[in-house]
Structure 1
Amino acid sequence: MRFSFAEGMTHAGYYAPLAQAVEASGYTSMTIADSVIYPEVSDSKYPYTDTGDREFLLGKEFIETFILCAHLFAVTSTLRLTPFVLKLPIRPPVLVAKQASSLAFLSGNRLGLGVGLSPWPEDFAAMGVPWERRGKRMDECIDILRGLMQPGDEPTFFDYAGEFYEIDSLQQCPAPTEKVPLLIGGHSDAALRRAVRKGDGWMHAGGDGEELDRLLTRLAEIRAEEGDTRGPDEFEIHVISYDAYTVDGIKRLEDKGVTDCIVGFRVPYIKGPDTEPLETKIKHIEQYGENIIAKVNG
């Protein structure tokens, strides 16, 4: 089992010392939240809270995802960073491929690229991208990332002709020296199928245990339908679960095919600033490393 630490919507200056503590405590990865804008007026709902309220985002510090990754890669040496998840179809895919390839190359292949759809039309409007047919646009973005991020000693040329994007033959140099895992987020049937057809894994965004079991069962069904026989080294399953906080619970998750547990130690969906001291956050990170990670992987 691998372990990822999630700490979103805290003080931007905390991330570097948190990443260093995470690395020292035996975690594999740290997730990086993605947010581009906060509109003053919106009737959009957040899909992963009971009320759909999004006001907890007001005033929260979000460093642009790739910039924060570069910052944290510079102060760590083994830690993997995983955007959770990058709002892919609101961005130009050629630029995303260049950013991700550059990070992977400079970090020694420590980037796992989680991608998904934004749930908010305002993100699309602010970036000048149509909201309609966003799923199909997402699929084309993934195809372009695949083509432009092919690993190898020599960059390859790639061209693309789709409904939304046309790219003349080009290359981006340097290429990643290893494959950058593309992990697909989302709970809809379309997102699960996209993870199987186009991704190297799936990222769960949270919810109760019964819902997680339903999603894992459905993911397994889709994999069977698609003839997907990839093992855990080729298809990653990242989940948020209360089972991740006990050794016995970790075993249950492993039995369900989970490869990566995403853990955090406070509820991020609160209005106003994060008042938890940095020292407390680091203590929680270290205690989990000692009490869970060391026992599971020791």
Structure 2
Amino acid sequence: MPDYGRALEFGVSVEPLADPPDFAARMATTADRAGLDLVGIQDHPYQRRFLDTWTLISTLVPVTGNVRFFTDVANLPLRPPVMLAKAAASLDAISGGRVEVGLGAGAFWDAVVGMGGPRRSPGEALRSTEEAIEVMRMVWSGERSLRFEGEFYSLKGMRPGPPPAHDIGIWVGAYGPRMLGLIGRKADGWVPSLGFSPPGRLPGMHEKIDEGAAEAGRDPSGIKRVYNVSGNIGPEGEGRLEGSAEKWIETLAGFVLEYGMDTFVYWPNRDHGRQVELFANEVVPGVREAVARERGAGLNS
């Protein structure tokens, strides 16, 4: 799998824990001070231990200055896309352009239904996600009056605003071939997790995205590839990402150069604050250097 040549970004995944209530703020400010690019916050509204993701992000924006936030990934069945787009645009305007949207078609359907949401078949999940992307882009378009009539969503003369401060990216979390094709045709990025899409599966998944991009006349290198990774920086362990900073650097650089990923969102297994600092200060610079060196060597060969 070729390196798509995209600029690298790095972030941290933060659980929206209600106890302790300051956990997310501590992690976000640590990531911000350490110079990371992104904070991703998962969205499972039916999880009783979790705060609401959008409410939480709105409290993290004022205590940070540079890091960008994204839903990793937003639960579409429980968040109508018109309101998701309105919330994202509002936070983007407040933060000066520091919000992106990770979007998920849905999972844990019993829990979704338990909150009054729909239970969708795989085909329905695909079609609703495609409609949602269209609706959200319309809401951000600056048009004066919006009309849309779809299978799942409709707009009947909505007057959108305020506009976002920047072009918000829509990054879809998905694994199936049809949804990967949709990402290639319509989305700005892909957000898989290492546990569900190990490196050996990535070439075939990239291929589906790239086929979708080609079908839509898009450049595959324009699609961001975000990898959620977990592990521990420290003593050697049996896991792929359990070990020294040097092991992490070699592994993540390989994910870029051999497997086509460009952005890494780290979910520490323990000692979260210290792990975020180690990731930002020891791993990230090493990965950037290793990738730049190999890319430079390729240009000069």
Considering the TM-score relative to the shorter chain, is it more than 0.5? yes
The one-letter amino acid paired with 1:182 is I
5+ long unaligned stretches in structure 2: 1-7, 230-239, 290-301
8 A Cα contact 2:181 2:208, kept in partner: no
Q: 1:6 aligns with which of 1, 13, 29?
A: 13
Q: 1:111 aligns with which of 99, 106, 121?
A: 99
Q: Deviations 1:86-106 (Å, cap 9, x if unpaired)?
A: 011332222112111101111
Distance change in 2, residues 1:170/1:9 (3 Å): closer
8 A Cα contact 1:86 1:114, kept in partner: yes
The one-letter amino acid paired with 1:290 is N
Name 1:206's counterpart in structure 2.
Answer: 194
Deviation at 1:297, TM superposition (A): 4.0
Name 1:288's counterpart in structure 2.
Answer: 279
Percentage of identical aligned residues: 22
SS at match of 2:90: helix
Name 1:251's counterpart in structure 2.
Answer: 253
Q: Deviations 1:79-129 (Å, cap 9, x if unpaired)?
A: 111111001133222211211110111111111100012212220452343
Q: 1:220 aligns with which of 197, 210, 214?
A: 210
Deviation at 1:161, TM superposition (A): 1.3
Name 1:129's counterpart in structure 2.
Answer: 118
8 A Cα contact 1:89 1:141, kept in partner: no
SS at match of 1:12: coil
Deviation at 1:185, TM superposition (A): 0.5
* Distance (whole Å) between structure 1 residues aligned to residue 166 and residue 16 of structure 2: 31
Q: 1:73 aligns with which of 50, 61, 73?
A: 61
Superposition RMSD in Å: 2.3
Q: 2:24 aligns with which of 11, 15, 21?
A: 15
* Distance (whole Å) between structure 1 residues aligned to residue 285 and residue 186 of structure 2: 34
5+ long unaligned stretches in structure 1: 39-58, 267-275
**Structural mapping, 1:127-276, within 5 Å:** 127-132=116-121, 133-150=124-141, 156-207=144-195, 208-231=198-221, 234-241=222-229, 242=240, 246-255=248-257, 256-266=259-269
Q: Deviations 1:261-290 (Å, cap 9, x if unpaired)?
A: 121220xxxxxxxxx5xxx32111111212
Which deviates further from its counterpart, 210-219 or 158-167? Answer: 210-219
Q: Deviations 1:238-260 (Å, cap 9, x if unpaired)?
A: 01354796223232222233220
8 A Cα contact 2:184 2:220, kept in partner: no
* Distance (whole Å) between structure 2 residues aligned to residue 23 and residue 179 of structure 1: 21
**Structural mapping, 1:53-72, within 5 Å:** 61-72=49-60
* Distance (whole Å) between structure 2 residues aligned to residue 291 and residue 157 of structure 1: 50
* Distance (whole Å) between structure 2 residues aligned to residue 204 and residue 161 of structure 1: 30
Q: 2:72 aligns with which of 66, 84, 103?
A: 84
8 A Cα contact 1:237 1:260, kept in partner: yes
SS at match of 1:179: coil
Q: Deviations 1:134-174 (Å, cap 9, x if unpaired)?
A: 32222212211110012x6xx63221111222311222221
* Distance (whole Å) between structure 2 residues aligned to residue 230 and residue 214 of structure 1: 14
* Distance (whole Å) between structure 1 residues aligned to residue 187 and residue 201 of structure 2: 22
* Distance (whole Å) between structure 2 residues aligned to residue 287 and residue 94 of structure 1: 39
Name 2:34's counterpart in structure 1.
Answer: 25
Distance change in 2, residues 1:225/1:252 (3 Å): farther
| Paired residues, number | 260
8 A Cα contact 1:85 1:116, kept in partner: yes
* Distance (whole Å) between structure 2 residues aligned to residue 9 and residue 71 of structure 1: 12
**Bigger fraction of residues in strand:** 2
Larger relative contact order (CA 8 Å, sep ≥ 6): 1
Deviation at 1:213, TM superposition (A): 4.1
Q: TM-score, normalised by structure 2?
A: 0.78
* Distance (whole Å) between structure 2 residues aligned to residue 2 and residue 293 of structure 1: 9
